[in-house]
Amino acid sequence: MRYEVWEKLAHKYNRLWVQKYSLGPTRREILKIALPMLEENPNLKILDIGCGTGQLIGEISSQYKELYYLGIDVAKNMIEIAKSNNKEKNIEFRVCPVENFTCQEKYDLIICSHSFPYFPNKEETLKKIAALCNPHGQVIIVNSSTNNLKDLIINFFLKATTSKARYLSIKEMKKLFQAARLKVKKIKIIRERFYMPTIALFHLEVQL
């Protein structure tokens, strides 16, 4: 089963070692972008694709209560934990693979943190993300990236512990962004320890 590993990981997800050296540092970098946006517009509409147990929205909503947030994830167990930890009426979670996601809403900020390598059709997913954004909407995508032999080796073992994935290089990601009309505003490399692969954060804007 494609999603089985995430169902099994859900109840220990917040305690995994990658929280310290990958997921936690990633959230800190995302907040550096999201919080100034919320300072300008506290009613921001945020879509979080692959939201996991809702850790990111928990950190955001502790400071900004008025935003509208929707988090989607493939794992039912992840979503149940997210719901139990985030009960505000303006925060919603759904069990849904990104390829099946449909919505009439348009979003000011779409976040995809460490989920993109697992999407089967990456180009179509990016086009969908762009279409879900308001004019000049912004997108943050973060994932492990394969840019050299060290990345290749580490990501090989990482893939073996999760589900089927492709960890694209920064160059490959930039080509996909261009095809989806997503302009790169900033690229940030997150690396807390030498034994971690390149973790690339892409801050993007929809091109009209």
The mean pLDDT of 118-133, rounded to a whole number, is: 95
The mean pLDDT of 174-200, rounded to a whole number, is: 90
Quote the crossing angle between the two packed helices 122-131 and 170-179, to the nearest 10°.
50
- Statement: residue 163 has pLDDT above 80: no
Core vs surface per residue 160-180: b (16+ CB within 10 A) or e: eeeeebebbbeeebeebbeeb
Domain ranges of the chain: 4-206
- Statement: residue 140 has pLDDT above 50: yes
Two structure tokens written together for 45: 């509409």
Q: What is the mean pLDDT of the chain?
A: 90
Concatenate the DSSP letters of all residues of 92-149 into one string.
EEEE--GGG---S--EEEEEEES-GGG-S-HHHHHHHHHHTEEEEEEEEEEEEE--SH
**Digit-coded pLDDT (tens) for 35-73:** 999 999 999 999 999 999 999 999 998 888 889 999 999
Question: Could you tell me the pTM of the whole model?
Answer: 0.92
pLDDT for 151: 85
Select 4-206's CATH number: 3.40.50.150, 2.60.40.1220, 3.65.10.10, 3.90.330.10. Answer: 3.40.50.150
